[in-house]
Amino acid sequence: MQASSSSSSRIHGKRWNLRLTGRKRGSLVGLEQARRGKVKGHGRSTSFMVHCSLGEDRHFHRGHYLYDIADFSAAEQHEQLVLGAPPRPRRIILVRHGQSEGNIDEGAYTRIPDSKISLTEAGWRQAIECGKRIRTLVESDGAPDWKVYFYVSPYRRSLQTLKAIGMAFERERIAGVREEPRLREQDFGNFQDQERMRVEKEIRLRYGRFFYRFPNGESAADVYDRITGFRETLRADIDIGRFQRPEDRSKNVNLVLVSHGLTLRVFLMRWYKWTVEQFEGLWNFGNTGTMVMETGPGGRYSLLVHHTREELKAFGMTECMIDDQEWQKYAKPGELNYDWLTSGSNFFSHFDSDKDELSQMPSEIKDASSMRDFFQPEPPVGWPS
């Protein structure tokens, strides 16, 4: 059965005729259940917010009407501007996979593709217990409408970890699952020669853990690039409230990312804008180890809402990184911490006489008078004064 309606709206100073049609799905209230529609004007397909009056049927939902232009939904624009921005998920919980065959026998990588390495029996048990811990955490809010939404690496050990974690939740508590290839493990280069890999990891320690690229594989810098893309997808999902229907909006959604140790550390680096030096001071997650990014009073995600300063120090975070988490705990989205290392003048050390970070600079340049001469040379002959 088809439902349709015509109306008009003044958009961008012009009045457009709208015709929305859709297939009936279950219980139907006017256009509420319409599946697809288009906005047309002057013979060409157009897309924008729907401000038209649909009478009693004006409260249609995102996903029921899809106005196609560059894969962006006009209904989503309508939802944000008319209904207001959706609440941010309460937490982003990062989980490393359980113990795998490769964790106890590096020789496994010589005969099994990295993407097909499975959990051990101990890994399965770890993942089941991890699911119980996550449920206890989200239930601690006391909210009756909490849910979880999962992003997971496509590697077998991560998918198995998620299967076991999911045993702690009823169907109605799971808002969704998305397999995300950008959350995969750092690529070490197809089948791995065990002795050669030992040598490569020793070279990596000398070269630097972030920039060293394994032959036929990736560096942590390469992982950073693809995690940047994933972060933008995640931020967009958060901004449009993709985890729940508009009529069921709640701040008690918890996102869970099931991935790999280095990938999750790079994710945190990218999210909080940590430097390469700060990244290289971090320790790996243990199997099914977690880090919890939780919204503070201002609405931003901070590691200090759930974790203690001592836990973050044990992870390898410096005092200034932890101080920034304290700022994140109370700041609002869009605000900038001007005292943060990479945000303001704190990056430069020449303001502080007690710091010796300029010791490698030639003395004739470091000298204040020479520095003025260096940066302000004499103008060319004939240059206007």
Supply the residues annotated as catalytic: 97, 185
Give the span between the Cα atoms of 337 and 343, in whole angstroms: 7
Instruction: Judge contact between 104 and 87, C-beta under 8 A.
Output: no
DSSP labels for 92-139?
EEEEE---BHHHH-GGGGGTS-GGGPPB-HHHHHHHHHHHHHHHHHHH
Question: How far, in Å, are 29, 170, 229, 234, 340 from residue 288 at the CA level?
Answer: 46, 21, 25, 22, 31
Other Cβ atoms less than 10 A from the Cβ of 380: the count is: 6
CA atoms 77, 79, 83, 87: torsion sign? negative
Q: Which candidate, 203, 166, 159, places its Cα nearest to that of 185? A: 159
Q: Give the pairing of strands 147-152 and 174-179.
A: parallel
Instruction: Judge contact between 312 and 325, C-beta under 8 A.
Output: yes
Ranges of beta strands (E only) in the chain are: 2-11, 14-23, 36-41, 44-46, 91-96, 147-152, 174-179, 253-259, 290-295, 301-302
Instruction: Kindly state the tokens that stand for 147.
Output: 């849910």
Give the span between the Cα atoms of 209 and 207, in whole angstroms: 7
Other Cβ atoms less than 10 A from the Cβ of 30: the count is: 15
Kind plus residue range of the DSSP H or E element containing 267: helix 261-272
DSSP state of 154: S
Q: Which candidate, 117, 118, 264, places its Cα nearest to that of 192? A: 117
